[in-house]
Amino acid sequence: MYNMFIANTGTLFNINNNVYFKQGNGSMVGSYNGINYPTFQSWRTANAGIFDSNSVYTDPLFVNQGAFDFTPADGFVNNKGANVLSSVPVDINFQARSTTPDPGILEFTPPTSTDAGIAEVVIPAAPLSPGTIPVNVKVRNAGTTTITSVTINWTINGVTQTPFAWTGSIAGGTQSANVNIGSFTLNALTGYSIAAWTSNPNNGPDARNTNDTAYADNIFAVVPGGSYTINQNAAASATNFVSFTSFSNTISFGGIGGPIVATVVTGSGPYNEQVIFTNVTGTSATNTITINGNN
């Protein structure tokens, strides 16, 4: 559910030089002091931005996880560890560490390759108001050859958008600044998922396609305070949720802007669901969440 969960405030934590990656719809990169951070970019703003300034967000693509070979295949992980040479001079195979070691248990050197990908789809942190939302991505170079051009393809809720032709210069093992590839209209109580992937790096083939794509899921606008219904027999609307799952996802990822009362419409059940309510951004002693079951 969370890569990192810190329940309370505190400055005793030294968290850096990590490799983050989350899988599955509904998961979060982090939670700090009751606030959810669905993306790596947003997580790094938690607690005044003291966490993970040197960390990276990527699937390390272990060579053979089933056979316990945890050597990364993704060059973006290369040399991103902290210098702990004085206390950890070798890796698990007694290979010497360096002052720029690799995170994890094994030292590795990525093979010569042209290997682009999207590091992250960057969406402004919740709470988001309905309206135009910019879509940015970071392009990363997981290979060794400098990338000077790449096509950025993307979809919103599965609908293909106009590809973006990027040019610039990204050295091996580094990533670009935010690249604005377009925008979309965020409507209230509607979930959005964005996928973005690279193709044709340096006008040629990509050495590895398993690291081309990144996603931003469960993008919701903040839910205004007010009265809502849960009714699976009516259409989803600005005041009706068709399931507890929809209600949970919408408030968990969008946050709330005031007290929320959700009333299950009498006789509309049963609802055979299992839902998890995570921390909801915006809740307080005043901004409460009430669910009237009505059997």
With CB under 5 A as the contact rule, which of the stretches 19-27, 78-86, 148-156, 283-291 interacts with Ca ion? 78-86
Calculate the CA 3 to chain-centre distance. 10
Calculate the CA 97 to chain-centre distance. 30
Closest to Ca ion by CB, 134 or 205:
205
Q: Which of residues 211-250 bind Ca ion (CB under 5 A)?
A: 211-212
Cα–Cα distance, 21 to 41 (Å, whole number)? 12
Interface with Ca ion (CB under 5 A), residue from 78, 136, 141, 252? 78
Check if the beta carbon of residue 64 is closer than 8 Å to that of residue 73.
no
With CB under 5 A as the contact rule, which of the stretches 52-60, 94-102, 150-158, 233-241 interacts with Ca ion? 94-102
What does residue 244 show for φ and ψ, rounded to 5 degrees? Answer: -65, -35
With CB under 5 A as the contact rule, which of the stretches 19-27, 48-56, 75-83, 172-180 interacts with Ca ion? 75-83
Q: Which residues pair with 117 in a beta bridge?
A: 140
With CB under 5 A as the contact rule, which of the stretches 126-134, 200-208, 250-258, 263-271 interacts with Ca ion? 200-208
Interface with Ca ion (CB under 5 A), residue from 17, 27, 79, 202? 79
| Least CB distance to Ca ion at residue 145 (A) | 12
Closest to Ca ion by CB, 90 or 276:
90
Peptide bond between residue 127 and the one before it cis (omega within 30 degrees of 0): yes
Closest to Ca ion by CB, 19 or 280:
19
Instruction: Tell me the HSE value of 126 on the side-chain side, using a 13 A CA sphere.
Output: 28
Q: Both tokens of residue 169?
A: 């210069």
| Least CB distance to Ca ion at residue 157 (A) | 24
Task: Find, among 122, 134, 117, 119, the residue nearest to 41 by Cα.
Answer: 122
What is the DSSP code string of 117-141? Answer: EEEEEE-PPSP--SEEEEEEEEEEE
**What would the x/- binding string for Ca ion be over residues 95 to 134, using CB under 5 A?**
-------x------------x-x-----------------
CA terminus-to-terminus distance, the chain: 30
With CB under 5 A as the contact rule, which of the stretches 71-79, 124-132, 232-240, 257-265 interacts with Ca ion? 71-79
Instruction: Calculate the CA dihedral of residues 192, 2, 212, 208 and round it to 10 degrees.
Output: -160
Residue 36 neighbours by CB under 8 Å, 6+ apart: 28, 30, 126, 252, 253, 278, 279, 281
With CB under 5 A as the contact rule, which of the stretches 150-158, 183-191, 205-213, 267-275 interacts with Ca ion? 205-213
Interface with Ca ion (CB under 5 A), residue from 27, 163, 208, 279? 208
Interface with Ca ion (CB under 5 A), residue from 206, 219, 240, 247? 206
Closest to Ca ion by CB, 41 or 78:
78
| Least CB distance to Ca ion at residue 148 (A) | 15
Asked whether position 59 contacts Ca ion by CB under 5 A, the answer is no
Check if the beta carbon of residue 154 is closer than 8 Å to that of residue 118.
no
Binding residues for Ca ion, rule: CB under 5 A, are: 78-79, 102, 115, 117, 206, 208, 211-212
